[in-house]
Structure 1
Amino acid sequence: MKYPVLVLRNNEENNYLFSIVDLPGCQVKATTMDEGFLLLNEAMVSHLKVLVEYGEQVPHAKSIEEHMLLSDAVSPIWAVLDFDIVPYMGKSHKINVTLPELLIKQIDDRVAKSSHYKTRSGFIAMACSTELAK
């Protein structure tokens, strides 16, 4: 899932504040953009682990445009963090799904060609999650 990231420059402290707006409290400070995204990715893993531990659902990401309308930040930088939330959606359960042969082939081809998806199940889970977020 692609989560909008709000990046604010703090000239007084010579650093940046990175926030995933859809996950309140998930933010980090860093001196460089590269360091900030690395730290933010680690913070997101920790944040989602806590949500799962307490049985909370992982919030779906809103669009940058939605956040821009609500933001009063001065000179914001907007970015996107592409993050696989499937491992944080709770325990996996095996189900029996019937799909047309051509669709299965297309899914398998996409999985084989993409580093985003490790398995057919992961692809289907992400597609379902994206559709449910609409």
Structure 2
Amino acid sequence: MFYPIVIHKDLDTAYGVTVPDLPGCFSAGDTMEEAVKNAVEAIECHVEGILIDNEDLPIPQNMEQHIYQPEYQGGTWALVEVDLSKLGGKTQRVNITLPERILSKVDRFTENTNQSRSAFLADAALEYINSHSSGKTAA
């Protein structure tokens, strides 16, 4: 799943990261690269806490939903990918049947994005459920 982040830098400070879709989720880094890497870890930790507490996981919004909000002005935006399939407890193996054509498309996509089939299918399922549910929350 992709989360938009906004990175701010003031003189003589580290790069600060805010995750607009996860209130209270912040991170930082001495370099831009470190800030982005640390943001992924912060999101994973934050989401794990939400799942442990059996709370609804907020759906990541498009960047455009946040860009014009005053608290994010002057920041640099990025999308970070978080593999939610490895969070939230024990995994369960399932056997599914897909048409060969669809499976080929999934495999090409996951190969190009360096994802596993399982991570892709978990993300796709959550995104589909979220877009078709009235509460608009994940997991």
Q: TM-score, normalised by structure 2?
A: 0.75
Q: Identity of paired residues, percent?
A: 26
Deviation of 1:60 (Å): 1.5
Deviation of 1:66 (Å): 0.4
Question: Which residue pairs with 1:63 in the alignment?
Answer: 62
Go from structure 1 to structure 2 and tell me whether the alpha carbon gap of 1:29 and 1:99 turns closer, same or farther (over 3 Å shift).
closer
Go from structure 1 to structure 2 and tell me whether the alpha carbon gap of 1:105 and 1:24 turns closer, same or farther (over 3 Å shift).
same
Which structure 2 residue ranges, 5 or more long, are not aligned? 132-139
CA distance in 1, matches of 2:71, 2:119: 37
Superposed, 1:79-90 pairs within 5 Å as: 79-89=78-88
Determine if contact 1:58/1:89 at 8 Å carries over to the other structure. Answer: no
CA distance in 2, matches of 1:6, 1:94: 36
Go from structure 1 to structure 2 and tell me whether the alpha carbon gap of 1:26 and 1:105 turns closer, same or farther (over 3 Å shift).
same
Determine if contact 1:58/1:88 at 8 Å carries over to the other structure. Answer: no
Deviation of 1:124 (Å): 2.1
CA distance in 1, matches of 2:130, 2:114: 19
CA distance in 2, matches of 1:41, 1:104: 28
Which stretches of structure 1, 4 residues or longer, exceed 6 Å deviation after superposition? Answer: none
Q: TM-score, normalised by structure 1?
A: 0.77
Deviations 1:48-105 (A, max 9, x none): 2211211123321111110013334341211111111222355545556443343234
Which structure 1 residue ranges, 5 or more long, are not aligned? none
Question: Which residue pairs with 2:20 in the alignment?
Answer: 21
Question: Which residue pairs with 1:6 in the alignment?
Answer: 6
